[in-house]
Structure 1
Amino acid sequence: MVGLLGLLRFKWTYLIVGVILGGIGLFTFLSAHPSKAVEIDGTESKYIEVTKSGNYDRNELNLQGDSNTYTLDKNTFHPTLPDEVYKGGKMQIWIDEGTTTIIAITLYDQDDKNPTKYTTAVYDNPATETSTSQGAGIFLGVLGAVFLVVFGLWFVLGSRRPAGMTAAGGPIMGMPLPVPQSPSQPGSSPGVSPDGKWYWDGQQWRNVSADGRFRWDGTQWVEMGTTYAARGAPPPPAATPTS
């Protein structure tokens, strides 16, 4: 969890997450449809309750001679479903077409008589599934849009930092003191000094903020991004001998 939260420090995370959530939301919204009940008659083979982290998650049902595992949420049925069913008992289930989700079930007593039918709102009112799925799609789409807005603001504002600025979690950074000029080195490549306090831009050494996240480009502080060690550059000012 900590590792995932750490990714939120990078603006590109918001773009990727926003696009993914938006895509899932759009697909969910467009694929929403009324439920269509399909009846299956059978005999119970296995019926278990599944929990996650100690909390109820779902029930799973297997029928004799059927390789499918059907699932249901007992909290969505009325009247209230019993916690257990008769082993090898007769039953009918109704699933939403194209899924293995049970939306209605008929249970019998130990003699396979006296049926009681338990249904869900999706079974009673098929249009409910359409509105529920569309609502979920809209929510995911809005959430994705929020991530994209954060990315857009970060991208735009990050490229317009003024000369004096406040680094996150740090003091106000104003214009740095002038840096002694170093002779340009042909064939040198931009990068940071060994101690991480200076940035070689190919022409001269520039200041790096105390937290190492920003560098001075001569007019403003800009985000460092991915950087490597400078190559072929003269010694940085801190390492230049003085007389």
Structure 2
Amino acid sequence: MFGLLGLLRFKWTYLIAGVIVLGSGLIVYLTAHPSQPVEIDGTEASYVEVTKNNSYERNELTLAGDSNTYTLDKNTFHPTLPDAVYKDGKMQIWVDQGSTEIIAITLYDVNDANPTEYTTTHYDNPQSELSDTQGSGIFAAVLGIALIAVFGIWFVVGRRRATVQPAGAAIAGLPTQFTGGGIGLSPDGKWYWDGTQWRNVSPDGRYRWDGAQWRELGGVGPAVGAPPPPSS
């Protein structure tokens, strides 16, 4: 977790995450469709409640002779689903076509009689699945755009700092007119010796300050014979 949070220090994290989230949101939106209930009849083989971090996540159901594991969110059904079903009990389920998500289920009593139907909004109103899924896609797309915007702002601000930030006065502790040594960079690449004094180098290492404006640094080697640069 802390390793992932550490990635937030880098602007490229926001661009990559934004593109992924935006793409996922567009896919979800474009593939949204009304629910298409498909009926499956069978008898219960197992019915378990799944939790995550001590919180309810879903229920999983398997039917005798069926290799699929069907899932449901008991909180979305009306009337309220019972916490358990009869072992080997008869039932019908309806899943959204192409998925294993249960959107309606009919349960029977211990004698496989007196059926009770439990449904979800997506079963009662198929168009609700279309609108809900599209809403999720729009939310993801907006979040992706926001992350990309964070990257863009960070990138522009960084560029502006490199090109317009004033470098300040001559460096304290050095003679303002010290003549000696060849022009070039300090060992750490953060300073530029112009023959008389040390000047600032932009954070990206592309520009040097000449006292009035930023200039392209070009292919400059180390400063030979210059006094020690200031402490970083």
1:111-153 Cα distance to aligned partner (Å, 9 max, x none):
1111100000000000000000100011011111111111111
Letter in 2 for 1:146: A
Q: 1:4-83 maps to which residues of 2 (within 5 A)? A: 4-83=4-83
Contact 1:45 1:88 in 2 (8 A): yes
1:19-46 Cα distance to aligned partner (Å, 9 max, x none):
1111011111110100000000001001
Contact 2:19 2:148 in 1 (8 A): yes
1:174 Cα deviation from its structure 2 partner: 3.8
1:231 Cα deviation from its structure 2 partner: 8.2
Aligned residue for 1:217, secondary structure, equals strand
Q: 1:1-243 maps to which residues of 2 (within 5 A)? A: 1-161=1-161, 162-164=164-166, 174-175=168-169, 177=171, 182-184=181-183, 193=187, 196=188, 198-199=189-190, 207=200, 217-218=208-209, 219=213, 234=224, 237-238=227-228
Identity %: 58
Structure-2 separation of matches of 1:77 and 1:179: 82
1:208 Cα deviation from its structure 2 partner: 7.0
Structure-2 separation of matches of 1:45 and 1:20: 39
Structure-1 separation of matches of 2:130 and 2:115: 30
Structure-1 separation of matches of 2:61 and 2:194: 71
1:206 Cα deviation from its structure 2 partner: 5.2
Structure 1 residues 25 and 93: CA distance shift in structure 2, 3 A: same
Gaps of 5+ in 1: 165-172, 221-229
Aligned residue for 2:22, secondary structure, equals helix
Contact 1:43 1:91 in 2 (8 A): yes
Aligned residue for 2:147, secondary structure, equals helix
Structure-2 separation of matches of 1:235 and 1:104: 83
Structure-2 separation of matches of 1:10 and 1:31: 33
Structure-1 separation of matches of 2:224 and 2:51: 64
TM-score (norm 1): 0.77
Counterpart residue number, 2:217: none
Moved over 2 A (4+): 173-176, 178-182, 198-209, 213-217, 230-240
1:237 Cα deviation from its structure 2 partner: 3.6
Contact 1:179 1:206 in 2 (8 A): no
Letter in 2 for 1:112: D
TM-score (norm 2): 0.80
Aligned residue for 1:17, secondary structure, equals helix
Structure-1 separation of matches of 2:190 and 2:91: 74
Gaps of 5+ in 2: 215-219
1:199 Cα deviation from its structure 2 partner: 2.7
Report how many residues are paired: 213
Structure-1 separation of matches of 2:226 and 2:151: 35
Contact 1:179 1:237 in 2 (8 A): no
